[in-house]
Structure 1
Amino acid sequence: MIIFLYGSDIFRAKEKLEELKSRFLEKKNGNSFLISTTESLDFDLADFRNKVLSSGFFAENKMAILKIQENKKTKKAENKMEEKETLEVIKKIPEETILIVWEQSGDEKFLKSDLGKYLLKQKFIYSFNVLSGNELIGWIRKRVAFYGCEIDNESAILIAEILGNDLCKIDLEINKLCLFIIGSKEIESKKISRKIVEELLSRQAEENIFKFIDALAGKNRRLAFLSLQNELSAGAGELALLGMVVRQIRILLQIKSMQGILKKDEVAKELGIHPYVAQKSLQQARNFQDNELKNIYRGLLQIDMAIKSSSSPARAMFDRLISRI
């Protein structure tokens, strides 16, 4: 039997792999020696052939896993496999062997190869593309239910806006939110409200944006690049990230226009923001000249237009903005 998992959503694919392994081990009394793993970045044809074709005197079901990994720089499938020879081995797999091939990038070039085409013809195929839109919101709501809580559509959308589509990060934060609610004596229901998401997740996102703005103010290009990279690598959506930075720069411009208002409570009331945000913003506003903030704001509007028109990569324009400070 051949089972093919593919796509760039590593989180869901890994979950499926673990599910298949668990079901296999249940039938084999937990005998993990019947499961072997081969990785494409360290592939040896003879070793792979031995794992999938060899059998003892008493033939017994075994599971072999072949991971076709992603090159982190090119985001393409990368391997040392001799695909033609590997395909010939796969075609000879005996009935008692379960082979799971996990392609971890959704690389079209691999899927169009002879090996990819053969795998796509198998009976058991699972595709894991990166979730977005309603599919992502639906997944968030199901994940919250998995941890024993509830969430409405509006709050689930807010989680997606703050965290992007990195399911690993979303799962971690949902788990934290549910643990907080279940362990809180002040919250009677097990529902994650928009207020809770804003208080627990938005504060974290705001801290990251504060670091980015501080780096711009200090003309620290290296730290600004690093802060941006950390946010994007963690799964933050480009539009969501841009929106948070634009909001903060707008707050700083508004503070600059407030003659004589220097107390955080007054700023918070005037702008309708949290006192903590007001305090941080007052500190940041002192580090910028008016024209610097206006130039940054204009640059952010250009990035917004680029994202919406797809005329230029947003990341490249962010980098250009940082390089000009």
Structure 2
Amino acid sequence: MDAKAAAKAVKQGDVSSVYLLYGSEKFQMREFAEFLETQLIPKEDRDFAIVHMDLGETPIQAVVEEAETVPFMVQKKLVFVRDTSFFTAAKDNGKVEHKPEALLEYLNNPADYSVIVFMVGAEKLDERKKVVKAVKKAGVSLSFAPLGGEDLLRWVDKQVRNRGCSLREGAAEAIVRNAGTSLQTLAGEIEKLCLYAGDGGTIDTSTVDMLVARSTEQNVFALVEDIANLRLDKALGIYYELLKQREEPIKIAALITRQFRIILQVKTLSAQSYSQQQIASQLGLHPYAVKIAGEQARKFESARLEGILNHLANLDYQMKTGAVDKVLGIELFLLRLGA
């Protein structure tokens, strides 16, 4: 079951006694937790009906005890439980002594007035643990992974439409290019853009470039994209802008190297029939970054990419030893690459 199906079930009155939410996409995880809160607990009851606990500070048996305690002045309560190691293979360095059997026993006969929501900030659960198997069997387990390339763009478009605005062609890509792939950051930038456009307004790429500031990493990402598309004037423009922001040329060169290394890795793995998701997992990257790197990779031969990386390694050595002026060294590299 995915989050959409779980939300539909809740709206239809099919509420589980326990939810296990896990994954690296914390924004969507929080959204689902807030959805449960709004659907199950009236606003006026939330002070009495919502409990927050942390397994890094509280034993699991205390969570069970809380769930078994009849709610005060309300019909149902939500117990949100944060976790980093109880359901995963991560080493527990805390001093809290957990008794998993308490939860296992509770799951055999859960209280009908309590809903426990475990929120695990890890990509994977430890499927060997009895508690993981028991919770999955007795409740609902939902994974919140980073959105893939096209899914991320659809999410941006939906968020904009939900705020009463629309996007011109290329604007969604521009928002992600400038703001990055963090949903939390994207949501904030989308809200800003929609406030500027006004109700019923339209957002285009020029508006995005005017209002959404790029980080150094995103600027380098755009710089490499311009190089790949032979837009040397734009690439140099980004470079000069980074210098105005007092960015260290050696750092800029390192980020350019990292991006070209990713492009080569994506090209190599794609040639071995790896999917975008598999490549993202293998390289520890966001799926959207893999999508863009894949598009860039098609514009370079592998030998050419290897040559660029060798050139960058030599440039790094020359800059650090003072053999070449740092600013001029990167400028010449970009000019030669464009040529």
TM-score (structure 1 length as normaliser) = 0.62
Aligned partner of 2:69 among 47, 54, 64: 54
Structure 1 pair 12–181 and aligned structure 2 pair: CA distance change class (3 A): same
> Which residue among 109, 114, 117 is the counterpart of 1:97?
114
Structure 1 gaps of 5+ residues are: 184-188, 210-230, 255-269
Closer, same or farther in 2 for the Cα pair 1:296/1:82, shift >3 Å?
A: closer
Tell me, yes or no, if structure 1 residue 170 matches structure 2 residue 186: yes
Distance 1:194 1:299 in 2: 26
CA distance in 1, matches of 2:63, 2:284: 42
Q: Residue 22 of structure 2 contacts residue 143 of structure 2 at CA under 8 Å; is this kept in 1?
A: yes
Match runs of 1:1-325 below 5 Å: 1-26=17-42, 29-55=44-70, 60-69=75-84, 80=96, 81-109=98-126, 111-122=127-138, 124-152=140-168, 154-182=170-198, 190-201=201-212, 204-205=213-214, 208-209=215-216, 231=217, 242-246=220-224, 272-273=233-234, 280=241, 301-302=260-261, 304-309=263-268, 325=320
Report the Cα offset of residue 136 of structure 1: 0.8
2:256 & 2:235 partners in 1: Cα distance?
22
- 1:134/1:75 CA distance change after superposition, 3 Å: farther
Residue identity in the other structure for 1:95: D
Deviation at 1:38, TM superposition (A): 1.6
Q: Which residue of 1 aligns with 2:274?
A: none
Q: Deviations over 1:35-68 (max 9, x none)?
A: 2122121122442232011237999432222222
Name the SS of the counterpart of 1:121 in structure 2. Answer: helix
Report the Cα offset of residue 149 of structure 1.
0.9
Distance 2:262 2:84 in 1: 33
CA distance in 1 between counterparts of 2:120 and 2:152 reads 22
CA–CA distance in structure 1, aligned partners of residues 258 and 142 of structure 2: 42
Q: RMSD between aligned alpha carbons?
A: 4.6
Contact 2:53–2:82 at 8 Å: present in 1 too? Answer: yes
Aligned residues: 258
Residue identity (%): 19
Asked whether the 8 Å contact 1:242–1:304 carries over to 2, the reply is no
Report the alpha carbon displacement of residue 244 of structure 1 after superposing the two structures with TM: 3.0
SS at match of 2:21: strand
The 2-side partners of 1:56 and 1:283 are apart by 59
Shift of the 115–172 alpha-carbon distance from structure 1 to 2, 3 Å rule, reads same
Aligned residue identity for 1:37: H
* Structure 2 stretches lacking a partner, 5+ long: 1-16, 270-278, 286-308, 321-339
Contact 1:77 1:105 in 2 (8 A): no
- Kindly state the Cα deviation for residue 277 of structure 1 after the two structures are TM-superposed: 5.3
Letter paired with 2:206? K
How many Å separate the matches in 2 of 1:44 and 1:274?
54
Cα distance change, pair 7–195 in 1 and its aligned pair in 2 (3 A): same
When residues 282 and 43 of structure 1 are mapped into structure 2, their CA distance, relative to the original with a 3 A threshold, is closer
User: Taking structure 1 as reference, are residues 46 and 191 closer, same or farther at Cα in structure 2, changes over 3 Å only?
Assistant: same
What secondary structure does 1:64 align onto?
strand
Q: 1:162 to 1:87 in 2, by over 3 A?
A: farther
CA separation in 2, counterparts of 1:59 and 1:299? 55
- Aligned to 2:117, the other structure's residue is in SS state strand
Change (3 A) 1:5 1:277: closer
Measured after TM superposition, the shift of residue 296 of structure 1 is 9.0
Using the TM superposition, give the Cα deviation of residue 7 of structure 1 relative to its aligned residue in structure 2, in angstroms: 2.1
Q: Is the 8 A contact 1:70 1:104 kept in 2?
A: no
1:76: Cα distance to partner?
5.3
Which amino acid in the other structure matches residue 142 of structure 2? Y
User: 1:194: Cα distance to partner?
Assistant: 1.7
Q: Hey, what's the Cα distance between the residues in 2 that align with 1:275 and 1:323?
A: 19
Tell me how far 1:18 sits from its aligned partner: 1.1
8 Å contact kept, 1:38–1:65? yes
Q: What CA deviation, in whole Å up to 9, does each residue of 1:75-133 have, x standing for no partner?
A: 95967544344333343422222222222223232x44222222222454433221121
Q: 1:69 touches 1:77 (CA, 8 Å); kept in 2?
A: no
- Mapped to 1, the partners of 2:23 and 2:153 lie a distance apart of 19
1:160-186 Cα shifts (integer Å, max 9, x gaps): 233332100110111111111119xxx
* Residue pair 2:27, 2:184 contacting (<8 A) in 1 also: yes
Pair 1:274–1:105, CA change in 2 (3 A): closer
